[in-house]
Amino acid sequence: MKILVLNAGSSSQKSCLYELTEPLPNDPPAPLWEAQIDWTAQAGKALLKIKANGKKIEQTIDSSDQATDTLQLLKTLSEGDTKVIQHSNEVDVVGHRIVHGGQSYRQSVRIDQTVKDTIADLARFAPLHNPANLQGIEAIEQSLGNVPQVAVFDTAFHSTLSAAASLYPIPYEWYEKGVQRYGFHGISHQYCANRAAQLLEQDLHSLKLITCHLGNGCSSAAIRNGQSIDTTMGFTPLEGLMMGSRSGSIDPGVVLYLMREDHYSIDEVEKLLNKQSGLLGVSGVSSDLRQVVNAETERSTLAIETYIHRLRSNIGAMIASLEGLDAIVFTAGVGENSAMIRSRTCEAFRWLGLELDEGKNQASPVDQNIAALSSKVQILVIHTEEDWAIAQECWKLAR
């Protein structure tokens, strides 16, 4: 079975094609074809990167609209040096990462017009993401016709949150209108939980896990019995941890102050909190942790200390929700690559019997347990595989 995965965002898109046979492998397989579009490199241009048949191709194209660029990208599946299929009808199913499923979707679903309409309606909750996700669906309809398509929702994994964990302490009428804590990065958190159980050779339902997805966007989740019971992101991906350019949680009074005293507009506040805060806002250097670390200024040091303080605090909250801890997982760009962040974070939890093997930590581990042999809590570094998780969901529904 050939499964195409589209992970569409507002500024970039990642795609890959898997060929799967039964039984599915335990380890993520290498895709037949991988591709990426980056719309941030140059105004009016799109950077295409394609990898297939042992070749890597990069080209910059004129970009009139993202849908047209996606169609051009999909052509490389069956044309040129990156050709891996003879005809588009060889693709059996297409899976899409959909950021927001709202209260409507608690699991992956086959896409029909009703699903498309709901995704469009939920764009009011995720205006930067759901429209781009929908555009990807429509691009597949144009290029591959009536191939079955599957929506895999980033919020679905967190639909198991209790009412107490998902409710905001505001008038209940708002909850009835859909204002609640949804959580995000669910595909990554779910994948890492399953992968952690594999690596530890234990039943997932017996484990109490904290998964830390630390990239440009950051969130942690408390997972018990294989289900999310708490997470740091909420109504939007802005809540929770300090991130690359997002503030994470702040006193809502700050927003009221900015609008009342400095006459900020809604759009200005939104841009400030999403694109000018976090590591970038505090350091004044970059949203990239590596550049902040290398800057070695007073403000860059403060940014790192604040990042670690908030990460530790939120992990502590997750431990309280779990009432125990078997393993902590670090994943995504920062989580997988920053030995310093892992080390500094783990220092705060030695009282739990958590002991890091610093040699393993410094060795650029991937899908490894970096806890000391004497540690009472395991520490895992896992390379998140969202595309593979989406492909697995497609396989289940197709079968």
Q: Are strands 93-98 and 149-153 parallel, antiparallel or unpaired?
A: parallel
**The residue to which tokens 């980056």 are assigned:** 38
Distance CA 174, CA 326 (A): 36
* 77/88 Cα distance (integer angstroms): 8
Instruction: Scan for tokens 């234990």, then name that residue.
Output: 202
Residues 377/326, Cβ–Cβ less than 8 Å: yes
**Residues with Cβ within 8 Å of residue 205, at least 6 apart in sequence:** 225, 226
Which residue blocks in 178-277 are alpha helix, DSSP H?
186-200, 252-261, 266-275
CA–CA distance, 105 with 153 (Å, rounded to integer): 8
Contact assessment for residue 7 and residue 386, using Cβ atoms and an 8 Å cutoff: yes
Contact by Cβ (8 Å): 322, 210: yes
Classify residue 204 by burial, with Cβ atoms within 10 Å: 0-12, 13-18, 19+.
middle
Q: Of 117, 121, 154, 262, which is the active-site residue?
A: 154
Contacts 24+ apart (CB under 8 A), 86-90: 88/143, 88/144, 88/145, 88/147, 89/144, 89/145, 89/147, 90/2
CA 32/CA 172 separation, integer angstroms: 49
Name beta bridge partners: 56.
51
The verdict on whether 357 is a catalytic residue reads no
How many C-beta neighbours within 10 Å does residue 44 have? 8
- Which residues on neighbouring strands pair with residue 368, listed in sequence order? 381
Widest distance between CA atoms in the chain: 62
**Residue the block writes with tokens 């609008």:** 259
Query: Tokens 């996606």 identify what position?
Result: 70
Which conformational region is residue 149 in: left (phi greater than 0), alpha (psi within -120 to 50 degrees), or beta? Answer: beta
Neighbour-count burial of 104, counting CB atoms closer than 10 A to its CB (0-12 exposed, 13-18 middle, 19+ buried): middle
Catalytic residues: 154
